[in-house]
A and B are shown apart, each in its own frame.
Chain A
Amino acid sequence: MNIVESTRLAIESIWANRLRSFLTLLGVIIGIASIISTAAVINGLNHYVSEKLSNLGQGVFVVKRIGIITNRQDFLDAIRKNRRLTTADGKALVERCPSAAAVAWQAAVTRDVVREGLEIRDTSISGVTPAVLQIEPFDVDAGRVISQLEEDRAAPVAFVGADVVEQLFPNSDPIGKRIRVSGQPLEVIGVAAKKGSFLGFSQDNFVKIPYSLHRKMFGSWPSVDLSVQAADPARMQDTMDEVRAVLRARHHLRPAQPDDFSMVTAEGINDLWRSMTQTIFSIALFVVGISLVVGGIVIMNIMLVSVVERTREIGVRKAVGARQKDIVQQFLIEAVLLSCLGGLIGVLLALGAAELLGAYTPLPARFPPWAPPTAFVICTAIGVFFGISPAKKAASLDPIEALRAE
């Protein structure tokens, strides 16, 4: 008997027991749907992070007082030991790191921004040197970015995010208008393109002003972040070594002491991020793996029931010339088809879940294109693995006994 006939029989049999088939498949459906939904969320996050990091540009790294902290002890040590980074550190890098094409620094505080009775709260107010806007380019929606001249003169100008415009300039063009931060009037010279929110946090609630002005307004206390662009992106590591040597000398660290600052690269963030999501995914895979095994066992169970119910049919088939391998094929295809049907429903559910998550939650879900073929392979494997024993049981029935069955 050929595959087409077996498939047709399997479809007839699954359809004849619609409700039972569906209930049988719940385990597989839920398993496949949850694993793909998890994958969609992680895929969305990865994509987002990669996109974000690619903004940083080639050969760029950032020196921070406190870098990416993965445990509490490191955090406490960093708070206690690490010195604040200052503009003097930045200037030293400009002078003493020949392999750095550009060095910029920025510092940030959080304040409310007001304009004529309108207000936006908890805005990030960062003082930036103009080079920052080259090293980490912004898409400019209107106006322009801060110039060197404005930095030199500590001019009261502001480059603002889309949220600031939405809140303070609901119906008017913000360019050339005034806003106030901590009593200081600022002229809006440019608006950044909207970036949207990530994990529920808006990324458009910011005001960037010249670093010199920031220092006047908020003092030199906040530690600065130093952004460094290597002249040759291929040799970024050399530039990082130079920067490390300069900063260690300035901080009077002995050779045995660890760095009291950290250097963050796009690759470093990306690697860390991926290893985190990889861990989350592995755990999810394990948990869902259990549900798939349970789903497979349920399929095996229902196939065994089906073999018993259809003992007589098997007897008839054998009497009219079905070989053992025809019977094995028929039941195996039925198990595989059942399992793959569960997978298909699971994939469709996950597709819907990814859409809903993307639309109604802050999670940036992104349906992974490899999911349907992978689900197909996994479900086929489940069908074969858990279907082979019932199929063999059916095939090995004695035709005489089978024909006598009630």
Chain B
Amino acid sequence: MTPIKLKLFSTLGAHLPPGAVRNCAEVEVASEATPHDVIVQYHLPEESVHLVLINGVYVAPADRSTRRLQAGDELAMWPPVAGG
């Protein structure tokens, strides 16, 4: 298993496991898990996952199934959002 920080913001925050603080939970995912695996594991509506960052770096939709998570990574996800 691989320990990561899972950060789910905006309406995705409702999918965080109990014990999450400020939209962040320390969780364990399968070895070599991808963002897509985590999306499935936490029952996130795929169509609502718009912005995915690993350690602040953007992960394109095409790379969500191939980018492997490593221990200590911070995986942050948002639905479509905007501001200004």
The reply to whether chain A is a binding partner of chain B is no
A residues within 8 Å of B by Cβ?
A: none
B residues within 8 Å of A by Cβ?
A: none
